[in-house]
Each structure stands twice: as structure tokens, then as C-alpha cells.
Amino acid sequence: MKILTVIGARPQFIKACMLSDHLKSDSTLEEIMVHTGQHYDENMSEVFFKQLKLPKPDYYLGVGSGSHGQQTGKMLIELEKVMIDVKPNLVLVYGDTNSTLAGGLAASKLHIPVAHVESGLRSFNKNMPEEINRVITDHLADWLFCPSHTAVENLKREGIKKGVYRTGDIMYDAVLRFKHHALQQSTIIEALSLTEVDYYLATIHRAENTDSPERLKSILNAFQQLDMEVILPLHPRTERKINQFGLTEFISSSPIKIVEPLHYFDMLAVASQAKAILTDSGGVQKEAYMLQVPCMTLRDETEWVETIRSGWNHLVGADSQLIVDTVKSFQVPKQYPQLFGDGNTSKTIIDILKKSK
């Protein structure tokens, strides 16, 4: 079976790493990897391949940045060429990025079956580009690999029942495998002079926060009021918006400590030792749960509703006072339900695909 894997963003590199290991060890399976170039700089792309020992992509499209339409359109054109050349038995896509949507669309137009890893997530906010990407991809997919019971139920409500599998979350595979390596190999804790559970980790990158001067100012203002150091790896777009909106005063003094965007091992190390995580990232919310670190989500809704119900994650939006009050009053739940499987998602997915040959 010839499998064409489409990736383009950091979370996809991590997920693909777990499946690629299983694909390489099976002589009946052949993986052809396509990197769209959605994340294209050294820290956002190449270093992840080196750390995770991902095979070098067979095709690198170099699409780069642009509007959603431009980026997705370029990917569609180039992916169609690759698929016609490779003639895969199926196309494998991950998550909810423009690369995911382009891979699913290009394959379906060529009548190539699509497998979607991380199916069934819903924020129910169609202003999020990711929501559009994931909904369309799910309706195109032939195999829908769901990380949780909630994801299966979301698909059922949309009338999607065929080809749906609850496999667990492939990111949990990665956390279990790499947490120990990260703590051993990363020097970030020492470099930043951090002490376990004596700091907060924060990330801001989502357009609803970065493109709104009011929301961005409110979030940064909340960080300034927290009782411990706030480590803030600054996303390039967030930095541009802070400068554009004249908010540099909020990040130029204690307790905020600005650092460059972190590669996977550094991020995993810092996240695992934080007292709490404040983020608008879907992936970071989920990793916080997997690392058993309390999370405050800087959004008005989330696709990871299970983490909210468990009590380990709280929605705080961009309300400065609510952010501060929630951090102060948060109590670690006594229960920790296994929401995302047993860490064998990669093998489960491969077994399902092989049975479908």
C-alpha cells in the first residue's frame, strides 16, 4: 500500500513522526511524505525533523505564507501534481491546517481515498479558519480517526458514521515517548533559570487575540498581574501586532519574560514543569492535559471540551480580571480521566488501514 502523507505545520510533524515509525517497519507499506512549506523557517520546520528523526520529505512544495486563499490554492495546484505523479492508494492528512484541507480536497478530486487523523473536533465557531478546514476534511474523508468519544459524537450529529474509529490521540503517543527525552536533552530550564512549578508558560498566536488590540492588551495586562514569572515564547505575528498596537510596554518588564519560539523538546520541557499554562493554542491545551498541568484557555470556546469537563482546563477568554482570578483560585482536580487513549494510537491506525487494503 502506497500512502501519501501531507504535512506542513509543527503539530503535524510531531504526529507524523509517530505514524512514520510504524510505516517504516512494515514492508507492505510505503510512505511518500509531502511537506507543503506552510511552516517554513528553521525553528518552525527543519529543527523538528532533526529532533524527531522524521525522514526527509520526498516532496517539498515551499508554499510559504500568504492569505488563506493564496496559501490553500498554491497547495492544491502543487499537491495535485504530486498525487498524479505518485498515484498513492490513499492520502493521509492531520489536524486542521490549510495543508490538511488542501490535501483532502486534492485527493478527493482525483478520487483517492482520504484518511484524516484527529477527526471530529469541533469548536462550533466558524470564524476560526481551522473549524472550516476540519469540517470539510471530515466530510471528504474515508477513514476518520477520532481522538476521543466527543469527537465520535460530533461526527454522528453531522451524519458521519461510516469509517469512524475512536483511536485515541496520536499526540499522547508523542508525549509519552518524548517527555523523558525532552527533560534529558533540553537545556531550556537551566538557560532560563527556572524552578519547577515556580513559573507560568503562556502562548498567544490565534488571530482572534492577536488581531484585536483590546483582547491582546487585556491578555498582556493579566499576565502583568500574575504572582510568578510568565514565560512567553513570542510568535512572530504576535510580536508584529504588539508593535503595531503600541503594546510593547506590557512585555518589556517583569513578570513577563519574552523568549524566542521554542522547538518541540524545549517546549515540552518547559510545559511539563510549569505551575500552569495560559494559551489560545488547541495543541498546547491538549498537551497541558496530557502532562497533567493546569490550563487556562485564552479563548471563548474550545474544541477540547473534555479537558474543560475534567476540571483541568478553564475557559477565560481575554477577560483580564477573569484570567487573574482563575489562576489564583485554580485547584488541581483529584481525578485524572484517561481521555485520549492509551498511547498506542499510531499502531491502532496502521492496523485499521492494513485491514482496509
Phi and psi at 227, nearest 5°, equal -90, -5
- Could you write out the DSSP letters of every residue in 222-268? HHHT-SSEEEEE--HHHHHHHHHTT-GGGTSSTTEEEEPPP-HHHHH
Cell numbers that stand for 27 in this block = 514492508
Q: Rounded to an integer, what distance in angstroms lies between the CA atom of residue 44 and that of residue 196?
A: 26
Long-range contacts of 251-255 (CB under 8 A, 24+ apart): 251/220, 253/224, 254/229, 255/223, 255/224, 255/226, 255/227, 255/228, 255/229, 255/230
- Could you write out the DSSP letters of every residue in 67-97? -HHHHHHHHHHHHHHHHHHH--SEEEEETTS
Q: Rounded to an integer, what distance in angstroms lies between the CA atom of residue 327 and that of residue 294?
A: 9
Q: Rounded to an integer, what distance in angstroms lies between the CA atom of residue 174 and that of residue 327?
A: 28
Contacts of 19 (CB under 8 A, 6+ apart): 5, 92, 117, 170, 346, 349, 350
Cell numbers that stand for 242 in this block = 504588539
- The angle, 0 to 180 degrees and rounded to 10, between the axes of the packed helices 170-185 and 345-355 is 140
Query: Peptide bond before 255: cis, by omega within 30 degrees of 0?
Result: yes
Q: Rounded to an integer, what distance in angstroms lies between the CA atom of residue 17 and that of residue 55?
A: 8
Cell numbers that stand for 263 in this block = 522547538
Known catalytic membership, residue 205: yes
- Could you write out the DSSP letters of every residue in 134-167? HHHHHHH-SEEEESSHHHHHHHHHTT--TTEEE-
Among residues 139, 181, 205, 235, which one is catalytic? 205
Degrees, nearest 5: CA angle 276-268-194: 60
Residues annotated as catalytic (active site), given as ranges: 205
